[in-house]
Structures are given as structure tokens and as C-alpha cells.
Structure 1
């Protein structure tokens, strides 16, 4: 993304922990990309990933999206998207290792 471009706005539904704007798919794909390339899969579950590991991942989203990662409600929504991406990628890794033995 060019630095001259504006960051994409996001709207959240905090009750369902979803992004309700048109940039939902871009947000979901970016969460997936960040988790795959920057997160360690040494933890058994996303809930066990410490906040010290999660916080830099959240800040990586601020390069593309106009969000306040200091807001606890926003963090919950971001964490729910990253948890889904983490579980999906971990499942792919486990399936691959089972396949190759």
C-alpha cells in the first residue's frame, strides 16, 4: 500500500465481534496474513498466546486500517478475527504434517 493513500475505515459491531463495513474481507485477509507470517504456533490455543505477542500483531493492522488498538472492545474484535485465522492456519499445518508422516 502506498504511504500517500489513506487508511481504510472500519466499523465494528461489538456485540457480535464483527466488522460491519465494506472493508470486512480486506480486514479478514490482512488478519490472516499477519497471523501466518508473524505469529508463533507453539501455543496450543489462541487464548494461551500472551498479550505481549498479540499486541504487535494488532499494531500491524494500523498500517492499513484506521482503528484504535488501545480500545478494549476493538481488541476483542481483532482478537476474534486473529483467533479464527490462527486456528485455520494451525489446522492446515497439522494436516500437512499428518500427511507427510
Structure 2
């Protein structure tokens, strides 16, 4: 699975978990999202989806505990290399590739 396929699957799985929380008409929080992802992992049979779910859970868990984060200093510097984002404090949550620049000028 290449990087873009991995990113798409990551987005899809996070979306599925978020939508299921919304359908329950309950609150949305990182804790509840993490719990839903863990529930999804416990019943998932597809190996590729299980691997990505495990990675998402690890990243979310570590993010809240000051552990390893996907947006390390070097990734933020890479994000800033095109010069258009260097004045912004907004960085992608998952992945390190900047999305297409959408100027608001």
C-alpha cells in the first residue's frame, strides 16, 4: 500500500468512526473516537484495515500523552518549505504533505 492509499484508508476509517458516533447522537470527543476505533479494530477481519486502525489508535493515544506525534519538528519544517505556509500555525493532523494551497485573497 503506497502512502496515498494509506492516507485515504486512514481518513476513511476515522470518518467511519466519527460518523458512527454522530449516528449515536452522543458527544464527540477524542476519548470516544479512540474507543470507537478500538471497537472497530476488535471486529475488523481485513489485515490491512487492522494495521491502519492500530496505527491510528497508537497515534491518537500517544498524541494525548505527549508521546510520539506525527507532526514532528522536521515534518513542520517540510510543510513550511514552499514558503506559503511559514506564517501559519496550522499543520495537518495526519500525514505530512501539505494540501493544495487555497488562498483567501
> Could you state the TM-score of these two structures normalised by the residue count of structure 2?
0.32
Structure with more contact order per residue of length (Cα contacts < 8 Å, sep ≥ 6):
1
Whose strand fraction is larger, Structure 1's or Structure 2's? Answer: 1
Larger radius of gyration: 2
> Could you state the TM-score of these two structures normalised by the residue count of structure 1?
0.33
